[in-house]
Amino acid sequence: MLGGDNMDLALAHLVKRRLAPDGARLSAGRLSQLVERSRAAKEQLLGAAAPASTAITLLGADTKLIGGARSAEVTREEIERIIVEGFFPLVSAKERPTRTRGDIVEFGLPYASDPAITRHVAAFLGAHAGPSQDALDTQNPAGPIIPDTLLLNGGVFRAEPLARRIAETLGAWRGAPVHVLANGNPDVAVARGAVAYALAHAGHAPRIGGGSARSYFLLLDDGQPDGDARGVCLLPRGTEETQAIHLADRTFALRLGAPVRFHLVSTVADHAYAPGEIADVSAAAGEFVRLPPIATVVDPRGQTKAHAAGKPSEIAVQLTTSLTEVGTLEMHCIAVDDPSKRWLLKFQLRQEEPASDTAPGEMHPALPKAIDLIDRTFGARSHDVGPKEVKRLRAQLEQALGSHDTWNIGLLRELFGTLWDHAKRRRRSADHERLWLNLTGYCVRPGFGHPLDEWRVEQLWTLFDQGIQYNNESQIWSEWWTLWRRAADGLDEAAQLRLLDDMAFVLQPHGTSRYRRAAGAARAGYEDMVRLTASLERVPVARKIEVGEWLLTRLKKPSENLQSWWAVGRIGARQPFYGSAHGVVPPEIASAWLDTILVLDWKKVEPAAFAAVQIARMTSDRSVDIADATRAAVIDRLTSTGAAHGWIAMVGEVVALDRTDEGRVFGEALPAGLKLIG
């Protein structure tokens, strides 16, 4: 927030309107040039002995480097209005940051939704009002405790108007002026602090330390009644940074090779807890705060025969913990029988536990019944289940859990775990295999968004080489490719390339012989392969272009599936769903694809309109956006065909997808509780 980039960008947008009154959009390179020159103007007009105004000059492009240069005048009054009033407004101590997204979203930087720094300061002081009052042994019901002394760090406070404004704001909240400490070189204040800390840590300078302000406990799962919670003290209050605390009197069973979750709680209580002490850490026992848990799979490293057989195992360990300088608690799990075997877990201590659609320990009340239904179909008792009952499993799950489109991501992953436990029995019959592929893919989609999804997809990928058993069943091939489409977003580049190579022979246009049929590759499911291919956002750009050209060649034939236009739009999209912006098809290639789409009758080929929107969509990255003239042509066509206003807006401005369009991009509705990336 204090880096100044967002301030420079705000000023650049003001100047751009004067340099290009016709609304023409600057290229990424020219906008960067304008931002840099705006920064220089800001520093000049907010500095000491600032002039009344200055000119910002934008050089021309290409051969018109000098002759095409344009200038705009900016006054000191305008700078103070935009920077001082825009980023440091005088607000009350009760005001809080707004959540409305501002207009400045260039360069992909994570700017705060509310640029008013003074509101964020008010929120910070309000959040720490309780500890402040406790520390000063006072009560201030009228508002938060306001500091009486101010130290300003960072180059942005070289500007005297900004330093004066933040001091005035704090003084107004306090009802008396604050004392501003002298800092002749605020640019390097943080760097100097880091050096001072390093010198102190090495014993070459005085060190100020009070140890950990909290005591930390690991929650124990020991069958206590609901509402009761016990924890073992890992790190007592007052422990110095990097000081190792070994719980020599406690032994734990560490679960290997299976998903596990570790919960921490902390307290600021003055009670002198001892390392390894077991205490009541329930909410009723005092001010215990739950911290972000770690969800992980502890690597067994070939420790047991049980894991070699694909089963989880346990090993006896003791714990050694330490508090790091960067705000994490490191916990080493050390094998009792061999201290050389260690597993390191790191807990983030400076965050609150993230909100979740499912409270800790809470799950759908009908989940046990759903698990029993899956066990009956795929478990040891499955020989008593006839073909009709196998086919009815999905309907039975919906009867127990509600419509499948209401299953949240936590419930889906629980069902995935049960299905994965029965992966070896998926081939009992063609109906079993079809159903297992369908349900498993549905429950793992989109391959990320929930703790341990990376591990789940890695486990699922181990089945790829096994292929399918009933390879003469076209519906099973369809479910096979759909499974990988639903999990594709969690696959790495190598796995996605493997999928593409297996499909290339079928996808390439007739008469093309560049790719040969892969061993065991599909005999059916072309349409599903097309949708899967479009979802592979981690494959290199060259392969994306190749597949896009294949589809366009095949779409020239009237008999081709028109849904392939959806795939063209996804492959040529300006804003990836989950992949890197470096993998976006270049604008010149995408524009050529748009030329082909624009000649179609969109009323007859509705997917073509959606493809055009994805390819022409305006983003915050000018290096990937297509030319203004091409986007204008897409907007005209969308308007003439009566397209939804949201689609038109996506091409004309930077907007987020709504839930309906998220589903269109993904190919189906996303699970509740999953927050999209882009």
- The tally of CA atoms less than 13 A away on the side-chain side of residue 487 is 33
Does the pTM surpass 0.85? The reply is no
Q: What is the DSSP string of 360-389?
A: TT---TTHHHHHHHHHHHHSGGGGG--HHH
**Mean pLDDT of the chain, nearest integer:** 82
221 and 194, same domain (yes or no): no
Task: Decide if pLDDT at 311 tops 70.
Answer: no
Structure tokens, 436: 């297992």
Say what the pLDDT of residue 176 is.
Answer: 93
* Pick from 218, 107, 118: nearest CA to 169: 118
- Residue written as token pair 């009486």: 148
Residue 519 has a pLDDT of 59
- Answer yes or no: is 377 within a domain: no
Q: How confident is the model at residue 383 (pLDDT cuts 50, 70, 90)?
A: low
Task: Give the Cα-Cα-Cα angle 413, 360, 662 (nearest 5 degrees).
Answer: 45
Q: What percent of the chain has pLDDT over 70?
A: 84
pLDDT at 224: 55
**271 occurs within a structural domain:** yes
Residue 592, classified by CB atoms within 10 Å of its CB into exposed (0-12), middle (13-18) or buried (19+), is middle
Lowest pLDDT segment from 197-211, 298-312, 510-524: 298-312
Q: Per-residue pLDDT tens for 628-678?
A: 889 999 999 999 988 888 889 888 888 765 555 555 555 555 454 443 332
Residues 265 and 148 in one domain: no
pLDDT of residue 319: 92
Q: Is residue 565 part of a domain?
A: yes
Residue 641 inside a domain? The answer is yes
Confidence at residue 505, expressed as pLDDT on a 0 to 100 scale: 87
Mean pLDDT of 123-128: 86
Give the pLDDT mean for 80-95: 89
129 and 12 in a common domain: no
Does residue 287 fall inside a structural domain? yes
- Whether 308 has a pLDDT exceeding 50, the answer reads no
pLDDT confidence of residue 560: 63
Q: State residue 355's pLDDT score.
A: 39
Same domain, 222 and 146: no
- Whether residue 110 contacts residue 101, with contact meaning beta carbons closer than 8 Å, is answered with no
Indicate whether 137 and 245 sit together in one domain.
no
Average pLDDT over residues 407-415: 90
Stronger pLDDT, 110 or 26, i.e. the higher one:
26
Same domain, 65 and 122: no
Question: Which DSSP helix (H) or strand (E) runs through 334?
Answer: strand 328-335
Per-residue confidence (pLDDT) for residue 455, from 0 to 100: 87
Query: b vs e for 469-498, b when ≥16 Cβ sit within 10 Å of the residue's Cβ?
Result: eeeebebbbbbbbbbbbbbbbbbeeebbbb
Do the Cβ atoms of 180 and 150 come closer than 8 Å?
yes
Query: Between vectors from CA 217 to CA 216 and to CA 220, what angle results, nearest 5°?
Result: 170
Domain boundary among 333, 348, 363: 348
Q: Residue 75 belongs to a domain with what CATH number?
A: 3.90.640.10
| Final residue before a domain boundary, out of 166, 201, 236 | 201
**Which of the two residues, 296 and 37, has the higher pLDDT score?**
37
Q: Would you say 580 and 536 are in contact if contact means Cβ atoms under 8 Å apart?
A: no
Across residues 35-44, what is the average pLDDT? Answer: 89
For residues 116 and 105, which has the higher predicted lDDT (pLDDT)? 116
Please state the rounded mean pLDDT for residues 326-342. Answer: 87
Q: Same domain, yes or no, for 560 and 623?
A: yes
- How much is the pLDDT for 664? 54
The range of the structural domain enclosing residue 246 comes to 215-348
Number of H helices, E strands in the chain: 25, 16
- Amino acid in position 111: Y
Compute the distance between CA of residue 41 and CA of residue 55 in angstroms, rounded to an integer. 8
| Among candidate residues 36, 33, 37, 68, the one with its CA nearest the CA of residue 55 | 37
Q: How confident is the model at residue 15 (pLDDT cuts 50, 70, 90)?
A: confident
pLDDT at 636: 93
Q: Are residues 175 and 46 in the same domain?
A: no
Q: Please give the pLDDT value at position 382.
A: 55
Pair 517, 540 in one domain: yes
Is 673:413 a contact under the CB 8 Å cutoff?
Answer: no
| Residue range 216-248, pLDDT digits in tens | 999 887 555 545 788 999 999 889 888 899 998
Q: Are 500 and 543 in contact (CB under 8 A)?
A: yes
433 within domain boundaries = no
pLDDT exceeds 90 at position 479: yes
> Are residue 307 and residue 245 in the same domain, yes or no?
yes
Stronger pLDDT, 544 or 305, i.e. the higher one: 544
Quick check: is 537 in a domain? yes
What's the pLDDT score for residue 672? 45
Sign of the CA dihedral with 245 first, then 248, 253, and 256 last: positive
Domain shared by 279 and 228, yes or no: yes
**492 shares a domain with 603:** yes
Q: How many domains does the chain have?
A: 4
The answer to the question of residue 355 being in a domain is: no
Q: Are strands 328-335 and 230-235 parallel, antiparallel or unpaired?
A: unpaired
353, amino acid identity: E
Domain stop point among 331, 348, 365: 348
The predicted structure's pLDDT at residue 397:
94
Assign 3-state DSSP to the chain and report helix, strand, coil percentages, each to 5: 45, 10, 45
DSSP characters over 485-550: HHHGGGS-HHHHHHHHHHHHHHHSPTT--SSPPPTT--SS-HHHHHHHHHT-TTS-HHHHHHHHHH
